[in-house]
Structure formats: structure tokens, C-alpha cells
Amino acid sequence: MFDFYLPIAEMSVNLLVILGMGGAVGFLSGMFGVGGGFLMTPLLIFSGIPPAVAVATEANQIVASSVSGALAQWRRGNVDIKMGTILLLGGMAGAVIGVQFVKILREMGQVDLIISLSYVTFLGIIGSLMLIESLRAIRRARAGNPIPARRPGQHNWIHGLPFKMRFKRSKLYISAIPPLIIGIFVGLLAAIMGVGGGFIMVPAMIYLLRVPTSVVVGTSLFQIIFVTAMVTILHSATNQTVDVLLALVLMIGGVIGAQFGARAGQKLKGEQLRALLALMVLGVSLRLAFDLVVQPDELFSIGPVFRGEQ
């Protein structure tokens, strides 16, 4: 009854299932304050959406969620436009390379593999790190020790690089090269994995660039809006894999879910929340790894021929 046909994915899906998926991931992203792309894209792939369509469509959805997120941060003055712009320049270059990479991989028949491998690698690493960190925090909290605060003004190798710029909002005077490289990397991930890349950008800004925590989220969201917008347009122009209908349903579910998630998140403790998220991230990573390692029932697959078309 609630089945509807997706024009680009070319399959019939249940409206309530897709709305529910958008809502569930929206709830989690509202609760944990994360983008949710790294959960949504694998979910879409598990439910039978072609991986290339899942990636491009999810990028489109992230535009919506990052706009509302960035706006909230902007009102509080938590966006470093200059830093964001440098990250964005890198992100755009990364997106262009990433979309071309996806096109070549599709022609070679290896796009599904690379998407899965990227997810297994990144979710595995991030999930493990988060789990270790949150377990330590929980143990520390139980022992009653306060979490040691970072001292500002610490110098690392980043400060030896040329092309130094002043970032007033972040109170930093550092080289433009590291944010540019972080941006490129995040742009690549956005194009290949259909994620905003906040899970890489936020820790990189905090630990490598020493950007104040208050500015980190707003600035990364600012970058994510434009990079995912560019990824959406490029994927559409190059691979025709953006399904607007699917994206719209995910957006609606996501918005509703995020509202409830944000409220639920305020009632839970930070460390436990992070441990929970870490377990979920590891779960998705293991599930994808399992599919890669176990011998599939059907070794053969068929696909359309891209080269020589049109």
C-alpha cells in the first residue's frame, strides 16, 4: 500500500521503511550530534539500493541536515568562515577527484567493493578509537578523576609549515596546508562514501589544528554543506545516480528523527553515549566486512555497460 517506485534507483520500496530508516538515523544523529551519513549509506545498501545511488543520494540528504545544523551554529557565532573556506577549497578538489574515481570504478565493476572497503576501514578505525576513548572516560569518571584539560598554545609539527594564515575566530596562526589537505581528504570521502566527513574532520581539527572545540562543529558543518552540495551536483552530472525522491523521503524522516534524538541525547551521559555510538559504528563495519570475507552464494553478478554509451 505504501510502496512507491524510485525513478533513479529503479526499484519499488516501502515508504514507511524508508521514512523509518531516515527517522532512526536522524534520531541517532540528533542524539550523538553526528551527521549520520556513515550509518545511512550502509543501511541503504543493505536494503538493496545500488551502492552508487546510495552514496550520491545520501550526499544530497546531508546537504539538508548540515544546512539546519550549520544555521544553529551560525546563530551562536561558532563558524570560522576563513578556516571553513580553506577546508572547502580542499573539499571541492577532493570531490572532483572522488566523483571521477567513482565513475572509473563503475566502469571497472569495482565501485561496490571500494565503497564497502572504505566503510570497513574507516568505521573500523573510528569505532575502535571511540570505544577505547569512551571506555577510558567511563573508567575515569567512576574513579572520580577529572578529565585533564588540554593546555592551549602547544606546538606541534604543523607549526613548522609555510603559508601561514591568521584565523581570528579560531585564535590560530597556522599554515593553510593542513586544513587544505584535510579538506581534500574529506571531499574524497564525501564523493566515494556519501558521508559529510565530520567524523574525520572534527577530530582532525581538534587534535591536529588545535581549533577550539566550540568552533569545530560549526566550521565543519559549514564546509560539509558546500562539499556535499558539490558532490550531489557532480554525481548527478557524471553518474546520474542522485534519486531526489529517495533523498526527499530520507530528509523528512531525518528531520523528524533528529528533533526527538536531540531531546533524548540531553538525558544521557556523554561517555555512555559515545560508547553506544562506537558499538554501533563497529557493528556496521563488521557487517560489511562479513559480506566481503564470506563466500557469496552467487559468485556472478551482472551490470550495465557504461563505456561507449552515448
Per CB under 8 A, the segment of 123-131, 134-142, 189-197, 289-297 that binds other proteins is 289-297
Give residue 59's identity as a one-letter amino acid code.
Answer: A
Longest dimension (CA), the chain: 67
Distance CA 289, CA 293 (A): 6
Residues 6+ apart with CB under 8 A from 212: 170, 171
Per-residue x/- track, 87-116, other proteins (CB under 8 A): ----------------------xx--x---
Give residue 245's identity as a one-letter amino acid code.
Answer: L
Per-residue x/- track, 160-199, other proteins (CB under 8 A): ----------------------------------------
In 3D space, the residue among 88, 129, 118 whose CA is nearest the CA of residue 221 turns out to be: 88
The reply to whether 72 sits near other proteins by the rule CB under 8 A is yes
Give residue 123's identity as a one-letter amino acid code.
Answer: L
Distance CA 137, CA 135 (A): 5
State the residue for C-alpha cell 526499484.
Answer: 11
> 201: left (phi > 0), else alpha (psi -120 to 50), else beta?
alpha
Window 115 to 154, contacts with other proteins (CB under 8 A): 117
Burial of 16 (0-12, 13-18, 19+ CB in 10 A): middle
Distance CA 122, CA 199 (A): 9
Number of residues that bind other proteins (CB under 8 A): 55
State the residue for C-alpha cell 525513478.
Answer: 7
Supply the minimum distance, in Å, between the C-beta of residue 160 and other proteins: 38
User: Measured from the CB atom, is 17 or 255 closer to other proteins?
Assistant: 255
The reply to whether 64 sits near other proteins by the rule CB under 8 A is yes
Per CB under 8 A, the segment of 88-96, 152-160, 182-190, 236-244 that binds other proteins is 236-244
Residues in the chain: 310
The reply to whether 298 sits near other proteins by the rule CB under 8 A is yes
Asked if 12 contacts 53 with a C-beta cutoff of 8 angstroms, the reply is no
The reply to whether 286 sits near other proteins by the rule CB under 8 A is no
Select from 33, 46, 47, 67 the one that contacts other proteins (CB under 8 A): 67
Supply the minimum distance, in Å, between the C-beta of residue 99 and other proteins: 11
Report residue 65 CA to chain centroid gap. Answer: 11
Window 215 to 234, contacts with other proteins (CB under 8 A): 225, 229, 232-234
User: Measured from the CB atom, is 158 or 248 closer to other proteins?
Assistant: 248
Supply the minimum distance, in Å, between the C-beta of residue 105 and other proteins: 11
Window 11 to 40, contacts with other proteins (CB under 8 A): 11-12
Contacts with other proteins, residue ranges (CB under 8 A) = 3-5, 7-8, 10-12, 60-61, 63-68, 71-72, 109-110, 113, 117, 225, 229, 232-238, 240, 242, 244-245, 247-248, 251-252, 255, 258-259, 292-296, 298-305
